[in-house]
Structure 1
Amino acid sequence: MELHQLRYFVAVADSGGFSKAARICFVAQPSLSQQIIKLEKELGQRLFERLGRTSVLTEAGRALLPRARLILKEAGDIKSGISDDLGSGAGQLSVGLIPTIAPYILPGVLKRFYESFPKARISVNENLTERLIKSIIGLEIELAVMSLPIEDKLIRMEPLFEDPLVLAISPVHELAKSEHVTIEDLRGIPFIALDEEHCLGEQINNFCYERQINPDIVCRTWNLSTIQHCVSFGSGVSLVPKMLVMTDVSNKCVYRPIKGQSPKRTVVAAWHRDRKLSKLAAEFIQIVKDEYAYLLETRSYEGSGNVSPIIANF
Structure 2
Amino acid sequence: MHSIRKTLVTTFSLDQLRCFAEVVRCGSFSAAADVLGVTQPAISLQIRQLEKRLGVTLIERVGRRTMATAAGEELLRHQQRIDAAVGDALAAMAQYRQGELGQVRLGTGATACIYLLPGVLEQLRQQWPSLQVTVNIGNTRDMLRAVEENRLDMALVTLPASGRMLDVTPWLQDEQVLVARRDVALPEQASAEQLRQHSLLLYEPGGNTRRIVDAWLTEQAQEVEVSMTLGSVEAIKELVKAGLGWAIVPRMAVEAQAELQYCSLSPPLFRTLALVMRQDKSLSRGLQLMRQALSEQCRKC
After TM superposition, the score normalised by the length of structure 2 is 0.82
**Partner letter of residue 294 of structure 2?**
V
* Partners of 2:163 and 2:245 in 1: CA distance: 36
Q: Pick from 102, 107, 111 the counterpart of residue 100 of structure 1.
A: 111
CA shift digits 1:88-138 (9 cap, x unpaired): 463211111111211111111101111221121111112222222232222
Q: CA deviation at 1:272?
A: 1.9
| Identical-pair percentage | 23
* 1:1-314 correspondence to structure 2 within 5 Å: 3=14, 5-7=16-18, 9-10=20-21, 18=27, 37-43=44-50, 44=52, 45-52=56-63, 57-86=68-97, 88=99, 90-174=101-185, 176=186, 178-246=187-255, 248=256, 250-260=257-267, 262-294=268-300, 296=301
Q: CA deviation at 1:147?
A: 1.1
Q: CA deviation at 1:54?
A: 6.6
Report if aligned partners of 1:173, 1:234 keep a CA contact under 8 Å in 2. no
* Partners of 1:82 and 1:281 in 2: CA distance: 13
Report if aligned partners of 2:179, 2:263 keep a CA contact under 8 Å in 1. yes
**Partner letter of residue 223 of structure 1?**
S
**Partner letter of residue 27 of structure 2?**
F
- State the structure with more CA Rg: 2
Q: CA deviation at 1:83?
A: 2.0
Report if aligned partners of 1:18, 1:33 keep a CA contact under 8 Å in 2. no
* Partners of 1:27 and 1:152 in 2: CA distance: 30
The answer for unaligned runs of 5 or more in structure 2 is: 1-11
Q: CA deviation at 1:259?
A: 2.1
* Structure 2 counterpart SS, 1:85: coil
The answer for unaligned runs of 5 or more in structure 1 is: 297-314
**CA pair 219-59 structure 1, distance change in 2 beyond 3 A:** closer
* Partners of 1:126 and 1:252 in 2: CA distance: 27
Report if aligned partners of 2:177, 2:265 keep a CA contact under 8 Å in 1. yes
**CA pair 35-287 structure 1, distance change in 2 beyond 3 A:** farther
**CA pair 277-86 structure 1, distance change in 2 beyond 3 A:** same
**Partner letter of residue 282 of structure 2?**
K
Report if aligned partners of 1:191, 1:236 keep a CA contact under 8 Å in 2. yes
**Partner letter of residue 195 of structure 1?**
E
After TM superposition, the score normalised by the length of structure 1 is 0.79
Aligned-residue CA RMSD (Å):
2.9
**CA pair 128-32 structure 1, distance change in 2 beyond 3 A:** farther
